[in-house]
Amino acid sequence: MKAGEIRKLTPEEMEQKVASLQQELFNLRFQHKIGQLENPKKLMFLKRDIARLMTIKNEPRMS
């Protein structure tokens, strides 16, 4: 997800997106541990998306 797309979201939508991505990350980590995950790089990209969302969500507080 690109930063421009994230900035168009409302704060509530950002919260929902973060929650859904964290749930997906949990599931992927579980699959990775039991050896069912086909593409482990998905974990890296998902963590980056979550960090990007959290950073943009907190931008107003930083300035």
Read off the tokens for 61.
């507080």
The dihedrals phi and psi of 8, each to the nearest 5 degrees, come to: -80, -15
Q: Assign 33 a pLDDT band (cuts: 50, 70, 90).
A: very high
The CATH number that applies at residue 47 is 1.10.287
Instruction: Report the domain count for the chain.
Output: 1
pTM of the model: 0.88
> Is 63 contained in some domain?
no
Domain membership of residue 21 as a residue range: 3-57
Residue 33 CB: number of other CB atoms within 10 A?
Answer: 9
Secondary structure string (H, E, C) spanning 20-43: HHHHHHHHHHHHHHHCCCCCCHHH
> Is 18 contained in some domain?
yes
**What would the pLDDT profile of 53-62 be if each residue is shown by its tens digit?**
999 999 888 8
**What would the pLDDT profile of 6-28 be if each residue is shown by its tens digit?**
999 999 999 999 999 999 999 99
> Is 62 contained in some domain?
no
Report how far apart the first and last C-alpha atoms of the chain are (Å, whole number): 23
Taking each helix axis as running N to C, give the angle between helix 41-62 and helix 11-34, from 0 to 180 degrees, rounded to the nearest 10: 150
